[in-house]
């Protein structure tokens, strides 16, 4: 007969106000299982990546490293400050301009590329919400990896201006991920 340990549950007392990125950093330090994002003061709890998702992050990150990018500028699942203290995301991968000082929340001005891998349940966030936020924050490039159905496909966008004069991702290019990773990333900045 085996004895099962009771589940460990995280108990958190949340303030009676909108959360800040500092609150989320504190919460994340106590729970290494989940990823947290903050959307205008509202906490989003993201489940851990499935094995295929995690493998894609490693493949793409390793591709950048193998092509001359340093490990200090290619970061898997970092915190990204999108707007002030009220909105922060955790992209699947960031490529930075230069190494930044130790920080939980990276500033958009330090980012060359933000990348998301679409998972069941994150489709609208990864296809609509996050690209709009990243564009408004001024991040020069956004890549979205679609993995279902069929072979993984990288959708690459560059920051431009939409028909209303607002920052938006334009210049869409779709390429099979295996084909992309067979070449070199080139210069992002």
Residue-range domains of the chain with CATH: 49-182 (3.90.1570.10)
Residue 74 Ramachandran class (φ > 0 left, ψ -120 to 50 alpha, else beta): beta
| Dihedral of alpha carbons 113, 119, 121, 127, sign | positive
Which residues sit opposite 75 in a β-bridge?
94
Distance of CA 43 to CAs 9, 24, 68, 150, 180, Å? 18, 8, 36, 33, 34
Quickly state the pLDDT bin for 1 (edges 50, 70, 90).
Answer: very low
Q: What is the pLDDT of residues 99-122, one digit of tens each?
A: 999 888 999 999 999 999 999 989
Q: What is the pLDDT of residues 59-95, one digit of tens each?
A: 999 999 999 999 999 999 889 999 878 889 999 999 9
Give pTM, 2 decimals: 0.86
Mean pLDDT in residue range 120-141: 95
∠ CA(44), CA(50), CA(56), 5° rounding? 105
């Amino acid at each position: 007969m085996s004895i099962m340990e009771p589940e460990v549950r995280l108990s958190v007392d949340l303030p009676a106000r909108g959360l800040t990125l500092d609150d989320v950093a504190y919460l994340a330090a106590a729970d290494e299982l989940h990823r947290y994002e903050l959307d205008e003061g509202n906490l989003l709890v993201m489940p851990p990546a499935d094995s295929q998702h995690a493998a894609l992050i490693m493949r793409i990150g390793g591709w950048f490293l193998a092509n001359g990018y340093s490990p200090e500028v290619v970061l898997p699942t970092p915190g990204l400050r999108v707007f002030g203290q009220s909105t922060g995301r955790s992209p699947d991968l960031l490529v930075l301009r230069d190494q930044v000082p130790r920080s939980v929340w990276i500033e958009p001005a330090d980012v060359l590329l933000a990348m998301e891998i679409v998972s069941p349940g994150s489709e609208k966030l990864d296809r609509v919400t996050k690209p709009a936020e990243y564009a408004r924050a001024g991040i020069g490039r956004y890549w979205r990896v679609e993995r279902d159905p069929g072979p993984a496909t990288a959708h690459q966008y560059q920051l431009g201006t939409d028909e209303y004069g607002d920052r938006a991702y334009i210049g869409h290019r779709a390429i099979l991920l295996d084909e992309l990773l067979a070449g070199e990333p080139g210069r992002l900045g």
